[in-house]
Amino acid sequence: MNVSNLYIPHLIKKITLAAAAVFITLFAAAQGDPTDSLPGDPGALTIYKVQNLNFGAFSVGNTGGTVLIQNNGSRTVTGDVVALNMGALYFQAIFDVDGPNGAIVSITNGPDVTLVGSNGGTLLMHIGNSAPSSPFIITVVQPARTAVNIGGTLTAGPPGSNPPGLYSANFYVTFNLE
């Protein structure tokens, strides 16, 4: 009796079972719950940060005041604050929203944020309104995205509490798919 003849039928069974298992696995992967989405979930929102919010350069007098960046990128100051144009750009935050056409999106601003200075001191920032205003409807078809601009208001006290320097912090906004 030849030993290799006994081994070949056993090997053929293993190969056949392995091929059947591969076929069943591929077939099962192709089947899904009808509520499942395609890869990338076209029904979800994806948010991309395009540009940070920046208040530019300014000088604070004895009593302080505010620097306001509108959601269109314009800047105004109040109180004892002087806007400086020294090459330090100012601009609104911009986010790109990727979502399904016709989706309703609302924006929830996070709390006010304390910016910490490179030479000590702090400034308080309030997150402003968005453009388009919240809630809004996505009117573009993917892969196009909806640009959302957000401004803010920076409150500065007297120079002793806000020495010159670079101030930074993170702020949070939540985009809600309704």
pLDDT value at 2 more than 60: no
d(CA 162, CA 118): 10
pTM of the full structure: 0.74
Task: Give the model confidence (pLDDT) of 118-140 as tens digits.
Answer: 998 999 999 999 999 999 999 99
Beta bridge partners of 118: 120
- Cβ atoms < 10 Å from Cβ of 107: 20
Please report which confidence band the pLDDT of residue 49 belongs to, taking 50, 70 and 90 as the band edges: very high
Predicted pLDDT at 32: 31
Among the listed residues 152, 171, 163, the one whose alpha carbon sits nearest the alpha carbon of residue 64: 163
The burial of 160, by beta-carbon neighbours within 10 Å (0-12 exposed, 13-18 middle, 19 or more buried), is given as: exposed
- Which residues, in sequence order, are CB contacts of 75 under 8 Å at separation 6+? 55, 56, 67, 68, 69, 83, 90
